[in-house]
Amino acid sequence: MQSFRTELENPIVEKDIIDLEKKIRAFREGKIHDEKFRSLRLARGVYGQRQPGVQMVRIKLPFGKVTFKQLLRIADISDEYGSSNLHLTTRQDIQIHYVSLDRTPQLWAELEQDEITLREACGNTVRNVTASATSGIDPLEPFDVSPYAHAVFEYFLRNPICQDMGRKFKISFSSSEADTSFSYIHDLGFIPKLKADGSRGFKVLLGGGLGAQPSLAHAVEEFLPEDELIPYIEAIIRVFDRNGERTNRNKARLKFLVQKIGLDELLNLAAIEKTANKFKFFNINRDVIAQPQPPLLIENALTAEELKNPLRYEQWLATNVFEQKQTDFYGVFVKVPVGDIPSNTARKLVAAISPYVADEIRITQNQGLMLKYARKASLPALYEALESIDLAAPGFDSVADVTTCPGTDTCNLGISNSMTLSKVLEDVIYNEYEQLIYNREIKIKISGCMNSCGQHGLAHIGFHGSSLKSGKAVLPSVQVLLGGGTVGNGVGRAADKVIKVPAKRATHVLRAVLDDYQANSIADENFHGYYDRFGKDYFYQLLKPLADLSTLTDDEFVDWGHVETFATAIGVGECAGVVIDLVATLLYETDEKLGWANEAYNESRWADAIYHSYNVMVSGAKALLLQKNINMSTQTGIIKEFDVNYVDTQEITLKSSFSELILQINQNEPSQEFATQYLAEATSFLDGIKAKREALV
């Protein structure tokens, strides 16, 4: 490993990468526990994959924005460090697979040369902030939400309040009431609102999530003024950090905290936390995300009449192109099969489109791309350029555009294949139901397991990987879900689990549902109306013959895309870090947190110093509780039990209860005076903890 001190201009980023390099070395030398190291690397976008000895690196691209230069940089990185492939995700990130752990610091350093980060792309952090791909050019939008999404990304990146939460935290911004960023499945989702006097604000949705137990978000604000956006998010995260579950990761999302304490109580706690916020109001720079320069007008451009396949062009024009709110310009969607772009194709893509569109690409929530500012006269030439690299398929975001996670190809949690199944289902649509490439209402989504990374929980027709047993043999299967999807303005539907069938019969499931829909839906009835009119049991009976295992063939014991007989092989998931219950490790971490507190204090970052000091006391208290084999699952539990087991028994002497000491954090403004006092108290507390620990051992 080498030093990156001379390569980067940003000292904060440089320090991050050097720290990762040191931690990898310490891990290799056995100085850091492997589970602690896992949480550390996850927060730096480095995720273990199904294949041993290699990593998936997730690149964090706020609201999916990437320039031509950045895309070329990522393609080069994938060639140098990975498998020469770029995988687009449903959270508008790009993933690179098969990366050596030891090379990740160098990889990160090279990405940062073009202002691309890995920081907090995984782990128990604020994940990538998503936004409608059309934001900024959407004819329906009240205003561009991109600057707001960017401000949220910047504010919470490296923010002490969200570096080691009990679980991940997801935020989205939709460009309009069409809710194309799915506010209803996020911890916090925002929909822009504009008052008659021009005041900007957001409708706020809270506590949504998919996973194995879907929960639809609650509407908690109809109009949150724009300057209260970041303080509001900060207060909610502070409550989640202190009160959220930390032991059982299956119950650790914000939606479970809402279920546990109630929505009203959570909002009351958030109101209390606002006192401690760094800002009471935060003005968003609306101009920070400027619209890119449109391309020059090309003389004598190719015309539609000169195209090799004018009928296919007309299909593409009808399904993949829309008029922007900017007069005389068009947005163009690019359908990317299973979200995979080989690095060489990415280079060809930039070369092909750069004469015809602006220098800004947006990754879409359904794993495609959106291009901006195409001129009408250039559309035939742009189509021909995309066609030359097999990226001009019509039917973007239609029934023929299936969303999928990587499944068993690379993910530890994958049960059955999703990538090949996605391609097979798309082939069924193109070959047997071509008219449905114009239908952008019905969505088909697939996940390799129940965790819904492919968003099957919000699909009209969804599948997730599973298994079935027939005699002594196990065969790949899919759980079929129906009836989910977006309604609008923050309202959504979670899909119903209907039936489980062998995976090789998923194509028959699709045909059965689509045939019935075409035969029995009534005029102007959407899929939701059709599904509700017949009801879940109707579809169970419709599909029940496909679940009959008495007619199995040998081929059905082999998963899609495989040649070997199916066997379940589920590893340990890494969607968030694992809790470490080692006293020595905790005290080591606590010392590190105290160092961060002092560093923030010396840089006059009072709010950060205060929160680091808070974490010093929580971590120190947890260490001593573990000494007595007491493991609390929340920070509030740690605070309470430390009083019961150490302060009330006078094993630790404090001037007040531990609760009164530590919870000064939400009763004081983040001033220099309070930061000075609180840091001194945290330092003294840690000294006491260490002394007690030494006495006990």
Work out the angle between the directed axes of helices 263-273 and 229-243 (0-180°, nearest 10): 110
CB-count exposure of residue 349 (10 Å: 0-12, 13-18, 19+) = buried
Q: Give the model's confidence band at 6: pLDDT under 50 very low, under 70 low, under 90 confident, else very high.
A: very low
CA distance 320 to 440: 11
Ordered by start, the domain boundaries in the chain are 11-112, 130-276, 304-387, 411-557, 583-696
572, pLDDT greater than 60 = no
The span from the CA of 279 to the CA of 360, in Å, is 32
411-557 maps to CATH 3.30.413.10:
yes
End-to-end CA distance of the chain: 37
Residue 129: pLDDT over 90: yes
Least confident of 128-137, 543-552, 554-563: 554-563
Q: If you write DSSP's letter for every residue of 545-594 in order, what string do you get?
A: GGG-GGG--GGGGB-TT--SBP--------SSPPP---HHHHHHHHHHHH
**Which of 219, 65, 184 has its CA nearest to residue 455?**
184
Tell me how far apart the alpha carbons of residues 107 and 312 are, in angstroms, rounded to a whole number: 40
More confident: 396 or 10: 396
Residue pointed to by tokens 């001129």: 375
Confidence of residue 339 (pLDDT cuts 50, 70, 90): very high
| DSSP states of 232-261 | HHHHHHHHHHHHS-SS-GGG-SHHHHHHHH
Q: List, as one string, the DSSP characters of 105-168.
A: HHHHHHHHTTT-B-TTSSSSSB-PPEE-TTTTT-TT-SS--HHHHHHHHHHHTT-GGGSS-SS-
Looking at residue 614, its pLDDT comes to 98
Strands 444-447 and 461-470: parallel
Specify the DSSP class assigned to residue 312. Answer: H
Q: Nearest 10 degrees: CA dihedral of 343, 346, 347, 350?
A: -170
CB 453 within 8 A of CB 422: no
How many whole angstroms separate alpha carbon 73 and alpha carbon 381?
26
What are 496's strand-pairing partners?
Answer: 482
At 42 the pLDDT is 85
* pLDDT score recorded for residue 517: 97
130-276 folds as Sulfite Reductase Hemoprotein; domain 1 (3.30.413)
Segment 597-648, tens digit of pLDDT: 999 999 999 999 999 999 999 999 999 999 899 999 999 999 999 999 999 9
CATH 3.90.480.20 fits 11-112, yes or no: yes
Model pLDDT for residues 357-383, shown as the tens digit of each residue = 999 999 999 999 999 999 999 999 999
- Residue 317 clears pLDDT 90, i.e. is over it: yes
Within 10 A of 362 (CB to CB), how many other CB atoms are there? 26
Helices 68-81, 104-112: inter-axial angle, 10-degree rounding: 160
Q: What is the pLDDT of residue 573?
A: 52
Local confidence band at 37 (pLDDT 50, 70, 90 cut-offs)? confident
Indicate the average pLDDT of the chain: 93
The predicted model gives 305-325 an average pLDDT of: 95
SS3 for 683-694, per residue?
HHHHHHHHHHHH
**Which of 296-305, 448-457, 601-610 is predicted with the least confidence, judged by mean pLDDT?**
296-305
CATH number of the structural domain 583-696:
1.20.120.330
Q: What angle do CA 570, 576, 582 make, to 5 degrees?
A: 100
Say which range, 191-200, 210-219, 566-575, has the weakest mean pLDDT. 566-575
Q: How far apart are CA 413 and CA 573, in angstroms?
A: 6
Q: Examine domains 11-112 and 304-387 and report if their fold is the same.
A: yes
Report the half-sphere exposure of 680 (CA within 13 A, side-chain side): 6
- Residue 669 has a CB neighbour count (10 Å cut-off) of 14
Confidence of residue 7 (pLDDT cuts 50, 70, 90): low
Least confident span in 448-457, 533-542, 564-573: 564-573
The domain over range 304-387 is classified in CATH as 3.30.420.10: no
- Residue 580 has a pLDDT of 36
